[in-house]
């Protein structure tokens, strides 16, 4: 059996992105909308902070190697720049 390893978490405020429309045409009314859009449009999985009572935030978990983490950060940046 493989060990689960370790993960780190960061909560990022996304209030400034709400009310915008994603590159794919989704209206981003909540942190949940934003989390779904990031998954579907940028292939990056995050969790809406409201699931933890911390809206409007996104919880980003990272336990990846540096190149994979950099690719995910680049994808988030491209997505947000396109808003």
Instruction: Look at residue 19 and tell me if it is in a domain.
Output: yes
Residues 76 and 57: their CA atoms lie apart, in Å, by: 14
Instruction: Look at residue 72 and tell me if it is in a domain.
Output: yes
Residues 16 and 10: their CA atoms lie apart, in Å, by: 17
Which residues span the domain enclosing 12? Answer: 8-81
Residues 72 and 74: their CA atoms lie apart, in Å, by: 5
pTM greater than 0.75 (yes/no) = yes
pLDDT reported for residue 64: 66
Encode pLDDT of 5-38 as tens digits.
678 899 999 999 999 999 999 999 999 999 999 9
pLDDT for residue 3 is more than 70: no
**Overall average pLDDT of the 44-51 stretch:** 97
Instruction: Look at residue 3 and tell me if it is in a domain.
Output: no
Instruction: Look at residue 2 and tell me if it is in a domain.
Output: no
Encode pLDDT of 66-81 as tens digits.
888 899 999 999 999 9
CB-count burial class (<10 Å; 0-12, 13-18, 19+) for 79: buried
Instruction: Look at residue 1 and tell me if it is in a domain.
Output: no
Dmax (CA) for the chain in angstroms is 45
Any idea what the CATH number is for the domain that residue 20 is in?
Answer: 3.90.1150.10
């Amino acid at each position: 059996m493989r060990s689960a390893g370790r993960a780190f978490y960061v909560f990022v405020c996304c209030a400034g992105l709400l009310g915008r429309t994603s590159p794919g045409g989704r209206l981003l009314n909540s942190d949940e909308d934003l989390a779904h859009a990031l998954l579907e449009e940028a292939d990056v999985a995050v969790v809406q902070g409201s699931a933890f009572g911390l809206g409007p935030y996104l919880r980003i978990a990272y336990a990846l190697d540096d190149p994979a983490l950099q690719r995910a950060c680049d994808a988030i940046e491209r997505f947000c720049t396109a808003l």
